[in-house]
Structure 1
């Protein structure tokens, strides 16, 4: 059984679990080194001591039908945070459109468990999405955007987010089936790109996992 070094006030800052105590469990999904040394990774308790490959394989059996895409024409620090959120909401894949390199710091190593695919151009990405039967849905507050809160998100779709500042590119907007805005009530005209991504992904989860009607 695992020992929790995080138990107790003196060790409350320690993340994860210590070395396994007692007879070792059997199964190929267990990682011998983690069982021996402890597991300090940012994973749920159900995946403690599992091999990384085994975690990915198990997630692949349960991933949701929606995808997430991020345009990467500059070097946006939000991309890592979007990948982390996509992992939390079990997006099937994350797509980076534009520059291949992106700042992984905000992902907090969740990119190891999340499939990430690169597309050099908007055109190439859109062609791929249409071939997969996915509706391309842009998330941005254009004057003609429809409201996310009252929009019936399709189950098979890819939610597209632009760069912080410029937002979704004109080419992506033209290719999208619809562009959706998030209703805001304060003085700022926009919210952080990674925050917008979290809201949009949660809207999909409410609709297709919890069956909450919109409108």
Structure 2
């Protein structure tokens, strides 16, 4: 029996013509040009000088998902350089159900260069979505939201919950503090009652469709970008593209 081939979905946008028989039979190829090759091969020519370079990466190539500035650098050297430029915002996530969003939030925290990432609740968390970016972040664990709040108070950082709760203020119109930690709840239940009590305030992201909420990792990226739009220095942005 021949192997079954997934067909192109039959649903079309409003106003488009229905599919003909040939389109229905066409095999669905999600990567028509093949998977993109990531990174660079072994270093060619005289070896560069500097303690930041990793001898093994120079010899074998660097296939990590890092910007070009950090090609062939050791992980320790990259973290040390990031530490010189980290932003003043933190991100915290409640972890009671091993939410798959946590890894994705950590990846966004790395992209926006958060000072620290805080895991509240269970110490073990789902790292799959982080794509190894957690190795470049400072990740702290707190048993409870109250413990997180106490730690942040010691460092003069405000704790703001992000959830579409009754009475939450609009994130879009708030004056984003420079020293702030955005706290997110689990996918589905949102912020726990104890987390709400620990926060200095709660804010929601404006929605206009039929869904009750947006994905927790999407909400986290929006909140982090709100901080970036307000406080980040964009003058050297071209150094971090790619």
The corresponding residue for 1:110 is 133
The one of 113, 136, 158 equivalent to 1:90 is 113
In structure 1, the partner of 2:59 is: 36
Measure the CA separation in 2 of the matches of 1:142 and 1:12. 42
Structure 1 segments unaligned to the other structure (5+ residues)? 1-9
Once superposed, which parts of structure 1, at least 4 consecutive aligned residues long, lie more than 6 Å away? none
Q: In structure 1, what is the equivalent of residue 203 of structure 2? A: 180
Offset at residue 13 of structure 1 (A): 2.4
Distance in 2, Cα, partners of 1:161 & 1:131: 21
| CA separation of 1:18 and 1:142: change in aligned 2, threshold 3 A | same
CA distance in 1, matches of 2:232, 2:97: 34
After TM superposition, the structure 1 stretch with the greater mean CA deviation from structure 2, 169-178 or 138-147, is 169-178
**Which residue matches 2:21?**
none
- For residues 191 and 210 of structure 1, what CA distance do their matches in structure 2 show? 28
Instruction: Find the structure with the greater CA-based Rg.
Output: 2
Aligned position for 1:25: 48
Which of 127, 147, 160 in structure 1 is aligned with 2:150? 127
CA distance in 1 between partners of 2:144 and 2:182 (Å): 16
User: Aligned residue pairs: how many?
Assistant: 202
- 1:160 partner SS: strand
Whole-angstrom distance in 2 between the partners of 1:210 and 1:52: 24
TM-score, structure 2 as length reference: 0.81
Residue 123 of structure 1 aligns to a residue whose secondary structure is helix
Structure 1 length as normaliser, TM-score?
0.91
1:112-132 superposed Cα distances (whole Å, 9 cap, x missing partner)? 101100001111111111111
Please list, as runs of the form range in 1=range in 2, the aligned pairs for 1:54-203 lying within 5 A after superposition.
Answer: 54-203=77-226
Per-residue deviation, 1:11: 8.8
